[in-house]
Amino acid sequence: MDRALSLAATPGVPLGPNPRVGCVLLSADGEVVGEGYHRGAGTPHAEVDALAAAGAAASGATAVVTLEPCDHTGRTGPCTQALLAAGVRRVVHAMSDPNPLAAGGAATLRAAGVEVSGGLAEAEARALNRAWLHGLTHARPFVTWKLAATLDGRSAAADGTSRWVSGPESRLDTHRLRAEADTMLVGTSTILVDDPLLTVRDAHGAPLPHQPLRAVMGLRDLPADARVLQPVPGAPDTLHLRTRDVHGALAALYDAGRRHVFCEGGPTLAAALWEADVVDEVVCYTAPMLLGAGRSAVADLGVTTIADAVRPEVVDVTRVGDDVRWTLRPRR
């Protein structure tokens, strides 16, 4: 199962409305005879990919797969029927499929005489597909709010300069996290003030082959020469969401197949996300720096007394270079 999970997490697979799935086929004596993974909407599912690699050796094999085989016809046929046609005798899956359109595969396989067991490494499989699972439950994308701030909570100095609050190690780590999302979201103010490119880049500053959607939320027009509007290989066209309604913007992104929004907007957008109660994760880089004045990391949240303070749960604290990275989640 560890190998199947590793296949499911293969870098470069387009993120979006489909889950990430890996599959390993084992012979009766435990030898790997085929393996595969899902490469995005419209491509063969992990089981079919592994069956193609195994050929005739799939007969009598055990399929180890990170998600219960699907039992419906979408862009591709049911994986249950492909497994039965290949003569697979046993299926071990990590998590049951919560999608009502695709669920039921385990029951279909059992009814056909295939031995089926589930729950192996379920927590790991769920973690791998947390954004997809969140979308099924909430019908909106998973939202990560990322910020970098000084010890006194400033994201920019009094003169507006903000490069660089965090250190080079934190900036590289941010690109790693960007690559795990399918959408980058900022507000129009960030575009007008900072003119970011909003791409995922490597340690040398070169863009990676697969890029998230760049989305800008707000009513103001964007300058024609804004860097966020410039074509980038591997990146879809930038989407301008002409609204201040957070729920409406996230609904539009969800309808467009987006499941994980990584927000690096300024304090106004950050406050709007909190007010709308849609922040699902916070990643904060705290730099060993004091400014004493300047732009706050988040605008007014309506908190007037310490008893009403927003207190997210600390999930992880890690030193990154000279900075400290906090990973938190809201208490709901």
If asked whether residues 66 and 138 sit together in one domain, one would say no
Q: How far is CA 79 from CA 68, 71, 185, 218, in A?
A: 9, 6, 35, 43
- Nearest residue to 272 via CA among 160, 187, 330, 213: 187
C-alpha angle with apex 102: 96 to 106, nearest 5 degrees? 45
Statement to judge: residues 54 and 68 lie in one domain: yes
Separation between Cα atoms, residue 153 and residue 162, nearest integer Å = 13
How many structural domains comprise the chain?
2
User: 145 and 257 in one domain?
Assistant: yes
pLDDT value at residue 332: 84
Looking at the structure, tell me whether residues 225 and 250 fall in a common domain: yes
Q: For residue 57, give the CATH number of its domain.
A: 3.40.140.10
Asked if 251 and 154 sit in the same domain, the reply is: yes
For position 75, what pLDDT does the model report?
81
Catalytic choice (31, 35, 47, 281)? 47
Q: For 27-57, b where at least 16 C-beta lie within 10 A, e where not — what string?
A: beeeebbbbbbbbeeebbbbbbbbbebbeeb
C-alpha 42: how far from its chain's center? 19
Order of strands across the sheet with 183-187?
239-241, 213-217, 183-187, 260-263, 142-150, 281-287, 323-329, 313-320
Which residues, at least 6 apart from 103, have a Cβ–Cβ distance to it below 8 Å?
A: 68, 71, 96, 97
Handedness of CA 43, 44, 49, 55 (dihedral sign): negative
Examine the domain organization and report whether 116 and 214 are in the same domain.
no
Q: Mapped to the 3 state alphabet, what secondary structure does the chain carry?
A: CHHHHHHHCCCCCCCCCCCCCEEEEECCCCCEEEEEECCCCCCCCHHHHHHHHHHHHHCCCEEEEEECCCCCCCCCCCHHHHHHHHCCCEEEEEECCCCCCCCCHHHHHHHCCCEEEECCCHHHHHHHCHHHHHHHHHCCCEEEEEEEEECCCEEECCCCCCCCCCCHHHHHHHHHHHCCCCEEEEEHHHHHHHCCCCCCECCCCCECCCCCEEEEECCCCCCCCCHHHCCCCCCCCCEEECCCCHHHHHHHHHHCCCCEEEECCCHHHHHHHHHCCCCCEEEEEEECCCCCCCEECCCCCCCCCHHHCCCCEEEEEEEECCEEEEEEECCC
pLDDT of residue 73: 86
Q: Is position 47 annotated as part of the catalytic site?
A: yes
* The last residue of a domain, from among 128, 152, 187: 128
| Same domain membership, residue 234 and residue 123 | no
pLDDT at position 55: 97
- The label of the residue with tokens 């396989």 reads 109
Last residue of a domain, one of 128, 144, 178: 128
For residue 2, the model assigns a pLDDT of 97
* pTM to 2 decimal places: 0.91
Rounded to a whole number, what is the distance in angstroms from the first to the last CA of the chain? 32
Q: Tell me: do 307 and 237 sit in the same domain.
A: yes
* Spatial distance between the Cα atoms of 118 and 65, rounded to a whole number of angstroms: 9
The tally of CA atoms less than 13 A away on the side-chain side of residue 65 is 33
* 146 and 262 both lie in a single domain: yes
**In which domain, by residue range, is 194 found?**
133-329
Domain boundary among 88, 113, 128: 128
β-pairing verdict for 62-67 and 22-26: antiparallel
Same domain for 152 and 182? yes
pLDDT at 13: 83
Between β-strands 90-95 and 62-67, what pairing exists: parallel, antiparallel or unpaired?
A: parallel
* CATH number of the domain that residue 176 is part of: 3.40.430.10
> Residue 148's Cα: distance from chain center in Å?
20
* 117 shares its domain with 139: no
Tell which residue, 306, 305, 259, 310, has the closest CA to residue 284.
Answer: 310
Q: What is the pLDDT along the chain (332 residues), one digit of tens a residue?
A: 999 999 999 987 878 789 999 999 999 999 999 999 999 888 999 999 999 999 999 999 999 999 999 998 888 889 999 999 999 999 999 999 999 888 899 999 999 999 999 999 999 999 999 999 999 999 999 999 999 999 999 998 888 777 788 999 999 999 999 999 999 999 999 999 889 999 999 988 898 888 999 999 999 999 999 999 999 988 899 999 999 999 999 999 999 999 999 999 889 999 999 999 999 999 999 999 999 998 899 999 999 999 999 999 999 999 999 999 999 999 98
Q: Are residues 90 and 138 in the same domain?
A: no
